[in-house]
Amino acid sequence: MQELIQAVQNSQTFLSGLSEAALAIIFFVLFGLVFATVAAVCALVFVYLERKISAHMQDRLGPMEVNTGIPLLKNIGHGWAQTLADAFKLLLKEDIVPNAADRRLHLIAPFILFCAVIAAFSVMPFGEKLVVSDMNIGVFFVLAITSFSVIGVILAGWASNNKWSLLGGMRSAAQIVSYEIPSGLVVLVIVMQVGSLRFNDIVMAQAGGILHWHIFQFFPLNLIAFIISFLATLAEANRAPFDLPEAESELTAGFATEYSGFKWAIFYLSEYANMFLIGIFLSALFLGGWTSPFGSLFGGFFDKPGWQPVWIILKAVAIIFLQMWLRWTLPRLRVDQLMYTSWKVLTPFAFVTIFGVGLWMLF
């Protein structure tokens, strides 16, 4: 970011006159917009992907029809524009707020959820220099911000004043809350190894090819940590096996029952954005972030700055694919099993990994 700002300042455009802070703010706004649209676009893409993948997994085709009249892609379009159509549909749907609901809270809840996720993106590292705010307490900040989602969920559940939404809200809040602990603990394992909370430090610690990735260090411990972290963050996002609160069959749409129209879309957007966030977060921590797996194999060709965002996004997509894969293979967990895994399996193992790594590093 600093280089970008210097570049602009000495480019004598009408902008260079402004102070450095002002320029930073302008860039932050630009990047904000970028990330917001990216989040939206990603959500659409991921929804489409999810539908196609889940369909193919279940030996069916998924959405095929909506190809938006581009003659070329008519028969191979595989319904790519399906989610686009959905988006527009949601924009046009009526936004109904039940009488009993509390209008203001009903409105605020989606805002909190979405903003929390977007704020977390500001810290994600897409490249050595391609990070919006290279915060010193990056990882910890992400943990802090994601905890906002609990409040959002509870408020959404409560605002709609509907038995199911309230119960759904409470359950999802409990779930998020209980899975935040293992995810927090496991992150510490990595931070211990790296000795810093800055994302780039963590990623650089993994430079040098696939073997340097954290996942392979201290052999079983880090792998366990990765698994715990993957599961915990998955549960926090209320996805796949852990998506009991808004399990379609039982609690209708969970806390989002009373939402319709674009507000409902926002929930979906934040969910998929959260998925993407997790993808990047995990890849940064465990899979070497924007470092190429080949390390110096092809003469470091792939390590060039240009390739860095590619690698991190590829890894994120891989993780997302893994999540989707899990979603359509594993049956949904019952509530007590949910709690059981979080408190009685993940948390103890998280502590074990921490101490294991600690001991390992001291010897």
Partner 1 sequence: MLLHFAAPFIFVIVAAAFIALNLLISRLLQPRVPSAGKNTTYECGEIPIGSSWVQFNIRFYVITLIFVIFDVEIVFLVPWAVVFKDLGWFAFVEVVIFVFILLVGLAYAWRKGDLEWDKPETGKFARDAAPQLFEEVGTERQQTVQEVTL
Partner 2 sequence: MSYFDLTFYVFAIGAVVSAGMMVFSRNLIYCAVGLLFALASIAGIYVLLGADFLAATQLLVYVGGILALLLFGIMLSVKFTGVELRTGTLQMLPGLIIVAGLFLLLLRMIYRAEWAVQTPGDMLPTTTTIGKRIMTDLLIPFEIASILLLIALIGAAYMARRERS
Residues 94-123, one symbol each (x = binds partner 1 by CB under 8 A, - = not), give: xxxxxxxx--------xx--xx--xxxxxx
Which residues contact residue 133 at a Cβ distance below 8 angstroms, ignoring those fewer than 6 apart?
1, 28, 122, 123
Residues in CB range of 29: below 8 A, 6 or more apart: none
CB atoms within 10 A of CB 295: 19
Q: How far apart (Å, rounded) are the C-alpha atoms in residues 356 and 223? A: 12
Closest to partner 1 by CB, 49 vs 173, is: 173
Q: Rounded CA gap, 344 and 236, in Å?
A: 17
Choose the contact partner of 347 out of partner 2, partner 1, none; CB within 5 to 8 A by kind.
partner 1
Q: Does 158 bind partner 2 (CB under 8 A)?
A: yes
Told to check if 334 binds partner 1 by CB under 8 A, we report: yes
Nearest to 349 by CA among 224, 242, 190: 224
Q: At what angle do helices 219-236 and 262-285 cross, to 10 degrees?
A: 170
* Count of residues in contact with partner 2, rule CB under 8 A: 32
Phi and psi of 131, rounded to 5°?
A: -130, 135
Residue in the structure block whose two tokens are 């009903």: 106
Residue 75 beta carbon to partner 1: minimum distance, rounded to whole angstroms: 32
Among 3, 14, 21, 71, binds partner 2 (CB under 8 A): 21
**Structure tokens belonging to residue 297:** 């194999």
- Give the whole-angstrom CA distance, residue 173 versus residue 133: 29
Q: Contacting partner 2 (CB under 8 A), which of 111, 140, 328, 360?
A: 140
Q: Quick check: 28 binds partner 1 (CB under 8 A)?
A: yes
Is residue 134 a contact residue for partner 2 (CB under 8 A)? no
Say which entry of partner 1, partner 2, none residue 89 contacts (CB below 5 to 8 A, set by partner kind). none
- 312-315: Cβ within 8 A, 24+ apart: 312/125, 312/126, 312/127, 312/280, 312/283, 312/284, 313/126, 313/280, 315/279, 315/280, 315/283, 315/287, 315/288, 315/289
Interacting residues with partner 1 between 200 and 229 (CB under 8 A): none
Shortest reach from residue 130's CB to partner 1, in Å: 13
When asked if residue 18 is in the footprint of partner 1 (CB under 8 A), the reply is: no
Q: Is 354 in the site for partner 2 (CB under 8 A)?
A: no
The interface partner of residue 283, options being partner 2, partner 1, none and the CB cut-off 5 to 8 Å by kind, is none
> Smallest distance, Å, CB 362 to partner 2?
14
| 353 neighbors 193 (Cβ within 8 angstroms) | no
Judged by beta carbon, residue 178 or residue 308, the one nearer partner 2 is 178
DSSP string computed for 34-82: HHHHHHHHHHHHHHHHHHHHHHHHTTS----S--TT-GGGTTT-TTTTH
Name the binder of 162 from partner 2, partner 1, none, CB < 5-8 A by kind. partner 1
Tell me which residue of 195, 213, 231, 255 sits closest to 346, measured CA to CA: 231
Site string for partner 1, 249-278 (x = CB under 8 A): ---x----xx--xxx-xx------------
Of 124, 145, 312, 338, the residue at the interface with partner 2 (CB under 8 A) is 145
CB of 5 to partner 2, least distance (A): 14
Helices then strands, each counted (H, E), the chain: 14, 0
- Structure letter (DSSP) for residue 135: -
Q: Toward partner 1, which CB reaches closer, 74 or 163?
A: 163
Cβ-based nearer residue to partner 1, 243 or 303: 243
Question: Which residues are at the interface with partner 2 (CB under 8 A)?
Answer: 21-22, 25, 100-102, 104-105, 108, 135-137, 140-141, 143-145, 147-148, 150-151, 154-155, 158-159, 161, 166, 170, 173, 177, 180, 197
